[in-house]
Structure 1
Amino acid sequence: MKETAMQDKLLTLENRQVIVTGAGQGIGRALASAIAELGGRVVAVDLNADALAALREALGHERCVTVAGNVADPSLAQQAVDAGVTAFGGVNGLVNNAGVTRTAMIDKMSISDWQQVIDVHLSGSFYFLQALGRHLLGRAKAGGDGAGAIVNISSDAGRRGTIGQINYGAAKAGVLGLTMCAAREWARYGIRTNTVGFGVVETPMTETIRGEKFRDTYLSQIPLGRWGEADEVVRPVCFLLSDAASYVTGQHLSVNGGYTIGL
């Protein structure tokens, strides 16, 4: 009985109002759904307004509000925080999940393909982290609860490197650095900041990697011998958002089927 009560208390997001970027499909949609199922409320952000509308209908208007736009737009982050404050009275969680890939070898990569990936993954993560941080610090300085949980979706491409994706690897390495700096700076306010690095997950963004040309090369490097599924990779993110991870900050968690064993 005691064990069950502890599980119920820790593995819940009933005290969380979470911004999720890239929530319209794939991992982001699975994340938004999981957060709502665990009792949390979601500010869903995505480029695709139609996908956001469908998500809100699925989760319920009392559980989800939406903000459509590009995370590379610095003003969008504050719009998302404001939407959460209006709908839920505040925001105390963030998952920087939005992503894009533009694949090319180093000598052939265009400046626009380089910049677009950096803008979405690295700059976008900074904009949202900064906006939420300002909101939480403002609450703390006003005598309120400034604690929060941030999970930045990084990638082990930022630690190990990936052929044809120097833009993506550089951006994700930057996200790791951004996370560690925020964790050190904000820990004293009760703001926890961590990263999760996914392996190859079955989503639209990884169709090229999972295609015939690259399939065998990638699968041969994954000890579990299969691609990840969106539903299973969101669980560690929910853990880090929850009070079950109340003593965890500044950490990177790889969820990749063993791809980085020994790294």
Structure 2
Amino acid sequence: MTLCKGRTVIITGAGGGLGRAYALAFAEQGACVLVNDIRPAAAAAVVDEIVTAGGQALANSDDITSMAGAQHIVDAALAAFGEVHVLVNNAGVLADRMFTSLTETDWDRVMQVHLKGHFCLANLLGRRWRDLAKAGTPVDARIINTSSGAGLQGSIGQSNYSAAKGGVAALTLVQAAEMQRYGVTVNALAPAARTAMTEGAMPDVVKKPQDGSFDLWAADNVAPLVVWLGSSASAHITGQVIESQGGRLSLCDGWRTGETRDKGAKWDVAEIGAVLDDLIAASPAAQKVWGS
């Protein structure tokens, strides 16, 4: 199986859960994989699995939330494999509390890992791919971001995480629009799977079935989508946010201008309430916030 033969992939948070599943699946399809995780032993264990199966992989534990750390990651991949073709921004962290109980540390930590963690590597690789394209070198590169249902609909007790993941979805749209001219596609996932984060947040929901039935929450259910998006076959798809759980794939329908009432003149304050009531009544109901 060689869908990704000759391609090099950097995957963050790849020492377990979804990241591990992606790393193993990419390697199975012939890719060289840089396995990044802040836990060196976890990253090394995934690399051992890949190498034992005959693949090529490199463990790395540099910091994705700093430009210096991101540069070390890119340099390591280039030194080992010659080029980087795919970035999978997967690493994440939770600090769940009701909004009025959040601390500044809770907020900053989640924003640092999710939003800045999505920026640093993508910015460095984006510059590299842009410069190669401008110099006349063909580029066939991919950025695969990770959003969440919490970022798309909101989730009670996760306002920091929801805000960060909503930011990732918006970032994806802008990256896709700006980078397509350089041969780079950018898409995002909203995966639902059993990981250390979801087991900590909702253990009863994501537990593995004991009756041998299909495991909706298995992380490796999401991996085929990610590998295909990282392959050359996906060059025509960009700017999408895709939900994945079990055997289900869904395209997310993002913010767009909906029902409109135009008076053609300035509204009076007394008119606003009735107009908004009319607009809401004429519009499809939004999906409920998770947990509500």
TM-score scaled by length of structure 2:
0.78
TM-superposition CA deviations, 1:155-180 (whole Å, max 9, x none): 12111000100011000011111111
CA contact (8 A) 1:101 1:117 kept: yes
1:246 to 227, 235, 239: 235
Look up the SS of the partner of 2:222 in the other structure. helix
Match of 1:197 in 2: 190
TM-superposition CA deviations, 1:96-147 (whole Å, max 9, x none): 0001011100000111011101110111101111011112122223322222
Look up the SS of the partner of 1:151 in the other structure. strand
CA 1:100 to 1:174, structure 2 compared with 1: closer, same or farther past 3 Å?
same
Match of 1:209 in 2: 201
CA contact (8 A) 2:62 2:72 kept: no
RMSD: 2.5
Q: Which amino acid aligns with 1:207?
A: E
CA 1:62 to 1:229, structure 2 compared with 1: closer, same or farther past 3 Å?
closer
Match of 1:90 in 2: 83
Q: Which amino acid aligns with 1:211?
A: P
1:25 and 2:16 correspond: yes
Displacement, 1:95? 0.2
TM-score scaled by length of structure 1:
0.86
Q: Which structure 1 residue ranges, 4+ long, deviate > 3 Å from structure 2?
A: 256-263
Q: Which amino acid aligns with 2:165?
A: K
Look up the SS of the partner of 1:157 in the other structure. helix
Inter-partner Cα distance in structure 2 for 1:146 and 1:79: 22
Tell me the percent identity.
38
Match of 1:233 in 2: 222
CA contact (8 A) 2:176 2:184 kept: yes
Inter-partner Cα distance in structure 2 for 1:53 and 1:138: 32
2:4 to 3, 13, 16: 13
Inter-partner Cα distance in structure 2 for 1:259 and 1:91: 27
Q: How does 1:1-263 map to 2 (within 5 A)?
A: 12-60=3-51, 63-199=56-192, 201-212=193-204, 215=205, 227-256=216-245
Displacement, 1:242? 1.3
CA 1:241 to 1:68, structure 2 compared with 1: closer, same or farther past 3 Å?
same
Q: Which amino acid aligns with 2:194?
A: E
CA contact (8 A) 1:74 1:124 kept: no
CA 1:170 to 1:226, structure 2 compared with 1: closer, same or farther past 3 Å?
farther
TM-superposition CA deviations, 1:72-103 (whole Å, max 9, x none): 22322111111111111110110000010111
Look up the SS of the partner of 1:249 in the other structure. coil
Look up the SS of the partner of 1:35 in the other structure. helix
Larger Rg: 2
CA contact (8 A) 1:67 1:79 kept: no
Q: Specify every segment of 5 or more residues in structure 2 that has no aligned partner in the other structure, as ranges.
A: 207-213, 253-285, 288-292
Count of matched residue positions in the alignment of Structure 1 and Structure 2: 245
Inter-partner Cα distance in structure 2 for 1:32 and 1:259: 20
Q: Specify every segment of 5 or more residues in structure 1 that has no aligned partner in the other structure, as ranges.
A: 1-7, 217-224
Inter-partner Cα distance in structure 2 for 1:123 and 1:112: 15
Q: Which amino acid aligns with 1:47?
A: I
Inter-partner Cα distance in structure 2 for 1:240 and 1:259: 13
Displacement, 1:62? 6.2
CA 1:17 to 1:251, structure 2 compared with 1: closer, same or farther past 3 Å?
same
Inter-partner Cα distance in structure 2 for 1:43 and 1:188: 26
Inter-partner Cα distance in structure 2 for 1:62 and 1:194: 26
Look up the SS of the partner of 1:149 in the other structure. strand
Inter-partner Cα distance in structure 2 for 1:83 and 1:145: 22
